[in-house]
Amino acid sequence: MPYKASGAGYADVARHFRTQIQDGELSPGDSLPSVQEIREQFNVSAKTVSRALAVLKQEGQVTSRGSLGTVVAEQQPTYRSGAARLELVNRGGSGLVGGETSVEHMAGLRSVDDLTIAEALGIDLRDEIAVRTRVFVREGKRSVYSVSCYHVRAAAAVPELPNQDPLPGQWQKLYTERTGREVHLSPERYSARIATPAELRRLHIPDDSSSARAVLVVSTVFHDEEGPLAYWEDIYAPGLSHVAAAS
């Protein structure tokens, strides 16, 4: 896609190609445009292009390949957070990348028994919320257990949330259409903790009681002018890297 940005810096150039690689628009072995083509595309100097390519090479995103120029390197599998998936959908993608699938979609109403969720939604323990869960799978391995918890205010405006069927659209857009209130996303938060037995089962990780299994947890909160609406939490299987939402 053409990109013109007068005065763009090396970070803008690097970000553009990094996003194309992470979104699968450029695959391993694909050649990047020549230095001259990048200069014209971004209206930048050859020095700026060289610095951008050096950053991408240092990150392992690209490599030099003789007469082929700069090509996309073989990528280690990365796994998107919920907010990053949402960004991909907003850019016209599906939210699933690199042969990824999602399984075990579950939805329903439940009372809150987790203090973290209660505090994030500004409610009391045992209050009722809508919950939607799914497991992401790549190359036959379960990678991310995703849990989305919704305040009763969100469920009142979007009553489809606790139903097993796919939603008729993005929940936050449905909420805005039906209430007239904009939904905002808080910055992602990162933490590590010991996985619960239920999380281990969903990720197909053996529950060895003799050794605890630590997992990365990426969470974010959606809110409107009246307060929290939803709390999303992604639990990553041990050893995985991930792609966060843009800051």
Low-confidence spans in the chain with pLDDT less than 50: 1-6, 247
Q: 139 — alpha (psi -120 to 50), left (phi > 0) or beta?
A: left
Return the domain boundaries, the chain.
10-72, 78-243
Predicted pLDDT at 78:
63
Q: Which CATH number fits domain 10-72: 3.40.50.300, 3.40.50.720, 1.10.10.10, 1.10.510.10?
A: 1.10.10.10
3-state helix, strand, coil in the chain (%, to 5): 30, 30, 40
H runs (alpha helix) in the chain:
10-22, 35-42, 46-58, 82-90, 115-121, 152-157, 171-179, 197-202
Tokens (6 digits) for 11: 């970070």
Q: How far apart are CA 59 and CA 43, in angstroms?
A: 24
Tell me what pLDDT residue 79 has: 67
Cα 33 to chain centroid distance, Å, stands at 27
Amino acid, res. 37: E
In 3D, which of 201, 238, 232, 199 has the Cα closest to residue 216? 238
Q: How far apart are CA 127 and CA 129, in angstroms?
A: 7
Q: Name the CATH code of domain 78-243 (choices 3.90.1150.10, 3.40.1710.10, 3.40.1410.10, 3.40.640.10).
A: 3.40.1410.10
Task: Please check whether residue 213 is in contact with residue 195, taking contact to mean a CB–CB distance below 8 angstroms.
Answer: yes
Total Cβ atoms within 10 A of residue 154: 25
> CA–CA distance from 158 to each of 50, 78, 85, 117 (Å)?
49, 32, 20, 20
| pLDDT value for 140 | 87
Query: Residue 7: what pLDDT?
Result: 53
- Rounded-to-integer distance, Cα 139 and Cα 127, Å: 38
